[in-house]
Amino acid sequence: MNVITTFTEKRRAKQIKYERSVLKDISITELKKKVQEYFGSVRLASGLFQNSGIQEACYDVALEAFLLGANFSKFSFAGEKLEMILSRCEAEETHLIDTLYNFLLYWGAGDEGIYSESLYLSCEQYVRAWWMDGYEKARRRQKLRLH
Q: Where are the domains of the chain?
A: 27-143
CB 57 within 8 A of CB 100: yes
What is the tens place of the pLDDT at every residue in 45-61? 556 666 778 889 999 99
Would the pLDDT of 5 be above 80? no
The pTM score is 0.86
pLDDT range class, residue 137, cuts 50, 70, 90: very high
**Residue 125 in this model has a pLDDT that exceeds 80:** yes
| Segment 50-79 mean pLDDT | 90
Other beta carbons less than 10 A from residue 95's beta carbon = 14
Q: What is the mean pLDDT of the chain?
A: 86
* Residue 27 vs residues 31, 40, 110, 127, 128: alpha-carbon distances, Å: 7, 19, 32, 17, 18
pLDDT at position 1, please?
A: 61
Number of H helices, E strands in the chain: 7, 0
